Amino acid sequence: MEPKLFHIFRNTPLGRETLLQSLFFCNTVGSSLVVYIPKHTKFLMYFENDVVQVDLDGSYLTAPETALEHASELATDAGIKPVFLEPKNYTASTLPDISTDFDFMCCPRSISDLSSKIGLGYIGPRVRRIVQSAKFPVLVTSPAFKPWSRVSVLFGGSSNAVNALRLGIRISRESGFPLDMFTQVEKRSPDYYKTIIREQGLEADRERHVED
């Protein structure tokens, strides 16, 4: 089954850049695109062990009369036919329930504060909740779209690091882009990491896909 990426569209210049990154990602890894154009500034996402109320800032409701047209035009230019999500269930009249049956989700670094920090280390609290609760990976975008041509994985040997390596290998395989893996040799020897990778059954994939 074709993987699906979930994208919340904002009809602003920043929203355009974020959608361009989702479209590039979908074309790169062979994913379909599900776009939600919000009519309210709040919605609920039901995860396995958490319910996250997402509070959008008012910019997500900008020019609703042209939002569908603008999103469709960008998708057409990218050669993608998106599915536009219309919520069917509501916890309250202005609080729609959004499915979490996706393989990926795209978020800017913050979805609830226009004036938030833009440093690389900053992730807004709502986005952090989604990252922590979701089973699917979350694509956290930069403010401006730039195509990418390599995949990097930071590998420290933990279970999360193993999952990150699996995902990096998957994206490398689907995209054809080379994969780089970074470790902290100051703390552990290379053999320590190689042993973990071998025990997790990833040695052949690492040798096949990791370039450096």
- Give residue-wise pLDDT tens across range 113-128: 665 555 556 788 888 8
- One-letter amino acid identity for 18? T
As a whole number of angstroms, the distance between CA 15 and CA 9 comes to: 6
DSSP characters over 5-59: EEEE--SSHHHHHHHHHHHHHHHHHT-EEEEE--SSSEEEEE-SS-EEEEE--GG
What is the structure's pLDDT at 123? 80
3-state secondary structure of 103: coil
How many domains does one find in the chain? 2
- Domain termination residue (choose one: 121, 140, 159): 140
What is the structure's pLDDT at 98? 93
- Domain termination residue (choose one: 140, 160, 183): 140
The single-letter DSSP state of residue 188 is: S
Q: Does 155 lie in the same domain as 117?
A: no
What is the structure's pLDDT at 118? 55
Q: Does 45 lie in the same domain as 125?
A: yes
- Which residue has tokens 């025990």? 199
What is the structure's pLDDT at 36? 97
The single-letter DSSP state of residue 82 is: P
Residue 146 belongs to some domain of the structure: no
Q: Does 78 lie in the same domain as 30?
A: yes
Residue 174 belongs to some domain of the structure: yes
Cβ-Cβ contacts under 8 Å for 65 (sequence gap 6 or more)? none
What is the structure's pLDDT at 189? 84
State which residues of the chain have pLDDT below 50.
none
Q: Does 94 lie in the same domain as 177?
A: no
- CA 123, 129, 132, 137 torsion-angle sign: negative
As a whole number of angstroms, the distance between CA 164 and CA 81 comes to: 29
| Structural domain containing residue 170 | 151-209
Q: Does 95 lie in the same domain as 187?
A: no
Q: Per-residue pLDDT tens for 16-43?
A: 999 999 999 999 999 999 999 999 999 9
As a whole number of angstroms, the distance between CA 155 and CA 186 comes to: 13
| Number of neighbours of residue 133 by Cβ within 10 angstroms | 17
- Domain termination residue (choose one: 140, 161, 186): 140
